[in-house]
Structure 1
Amino acid sequence: MAHIEPHGASGSYSNSAITALHAGELHAASRDEQILAAKISRAMSSGPLHITRDATIAEMDGHGNPVVLRQGTNQWVCFPGDENKIGDVPMCADPMGLQWMLDIMASKPAPTNTAPGIIYMLCGATQHSNTDPFDKTSPAIPIGPHWMILWPYSAAHDGLPNNVRDAGAWVMFDGTPYAYLHVSGTPWAGNEYTPGQAPVWTMRYGAPTEH
């Protein structure tokens, strides 16, 4: 499992900074505090709040190693990313997802996670390629909010598409060791079914039609 070095702000300091950011009070904070709060806010927006509010917030140092900005209390790690760099986007990963991410960043021949991982990118993303996991030069491909199941998938075997889409799911990096399932949107899209409701022709759940 990936190791993350603790460094930077403590959890309480960072939480107060992010609270100040949402309260619009950062005009009185130092520049470093403002930058830290903005990074934490962006990282927390990358995944479901019930996960990100307790997650460790980290960023990559110049050697590609994660450095903690706020220590969390669950197993998730969220990153603020850098909007000026293609592929460096806000994300939140569980331990196996983090291992997969560090492996691909290090250009390892294949990922080493021993169980399926999850990464949320609910802020959307840009990346260089849908087919080559190590492409660092092609023009940016814009991709909407999504989440990823990081385990071997095959488009042909699993009956799934492998081209970029604005909805649904596809196998990204199909045919490579880094192939995984890319799911557009969030797991909470659509209307929730409750007993007593009836399906309407659009297959959106709503109140039963009265006659």
Structure 2
Amino acid sequence: MNGLVPLPRVTLGVILGMSCSFSLAATPEEKIASAMSAAPPSVSATATILDWPADMAAEMPTLRQGTNGWTCLPDMPATPGNDPMCLDAPWLDWLNAWVNKTTPVTKELGFGYMLQGGSPESNTDPYASGPSDSNEWITEPVPHLMILVPDAAMLEGLPTDHNNGGPWVMWRDTPYVHIMAPMPAYRP
């Protein structure tokens, strides 16, 4: 995958219905700054920066080529929260699978940063578009590090409660299961 993630129109169509927190008219420099705020400078300073495409069926355009193997994305224009992210290669593959609703193949540990928090979402359903009685809606996402493991069985016994004050397993019993570890917010 050449660092470009094709985004299907159908998946992001749901997202486009949400209110925007980041202007589609933002300059490339503003988008780069947003993307870099997702991770510590030791990660984001030399990361590749991709952008969300105007045509959601297109590949993500490159705003800046990086050298350290990390890829950062600015705040997603169509979501209500501030959700830039920086991802290593396993997480970028995971993102591609999640967006395309395919099963990710995780062969090694993966790490992703979202130090601005994110948008409200379900703790149990990776495609929920709003709160329900059964999806454990997270209304105030905290800044976090996301961890992928190659075998979901490695997560057995870890908590799933996002209110426990520490790391928890998100989207258990789905192909998109991962660990969420709260972190201090990064203020550029």
**Which residue, 142, 145, 162 being the options, matches 1:144?**
142
Distance 1:113 1:144, change over 3 A: same
Shift of 1:47: 0.4
Which blocks of at least 5 consecutive residues in structure 1 are unaligned? 6-31, 189-211
**Which residue, 171, 176, 179 being the options, matches 1:178?**
176
Shift of 1:161: 1.4
Task: Give 1:191's aligned residue.
Answer: none
For 1:93 and 1:126, the matched residues in 2 are separated by 17
For 1:164 and 1:127, the matched residues in 2 are separated by 12
For 2:139 and 2:164, the matched residues in 1 are separated by 12
Contact 1:76 1:92 survives alignment (8 Å)? yes
For 2:85 and 2:122, the matched residues in 1 are separated by 18
For 2:119 and 2:110, the matched residues in 1 are separated by 20
Q: CA RMSD in A?
A: 2.7
Write the letter of the residue equivalent to 2:163. Answer: R
Matching of residue 43 in structure 1 with residue 35 in structure 2: yes
Matching of residue 89 in structure 1 with residue 89 in structure 2: no
Shift of 1:42: 0.8
Task: Specify which structure has the higher proportion of helix.
Answer: 1
Shift of 1:121: 0.3
Shift of 1:125: 0.8
Task: Give 1:54's aligned residue.
Answer: 46
Contact 2:52 2:76 survives alignment (8 Å)? no
Identical pairs, percent? 32
Task: Give 2:16's aligned residue.
Answer: none
1:141-169 deviation line (CA, Å, top 9, x unaligned):
32110011112446972x22112227310
Distance 1:118 1:156, change over 3 A: closer
Task: Give 1:104's aligned residue.
Answer: 98
Task: Give 2:111's aligned residue.
Answer: 118
For 1:72 and 1:3, the matched residues in 2 are separated by 12
For 2:61 and 2:106, the matched residues in 1 are separated by 20
Contact 2:3 2:71 survives alignment (8 Å)? no
Q: Which has the higher contact order (CA 8 A, sep 6+)?
A: 2
1:159-188 deviation line (CA, Å, top 9, x unaligned):
2211222731000001222111110115x9
Task: Give 1:195's aligned residue.
Answer: none
Contact 1:103 1:111 survives alignment (8 Å)? yes
Task: Give 1:203's aligned residue.
Answer: none
Residue 113 of structure 2: SS of its match in structure 1? strand
For 2:62 and 2:179, the matched residues in 1 are separated by 28
For 2:167 and 2:41, the matched residues in 1 are separated by 23
* Greater gyration radius: 1
For 1:154 and 1:172, the matched residues in 2 are separated by 14
Shift of 1:117: 1.2
> Given the two structures, how large is their TM-score scaled by the length of structure 1?
0.66
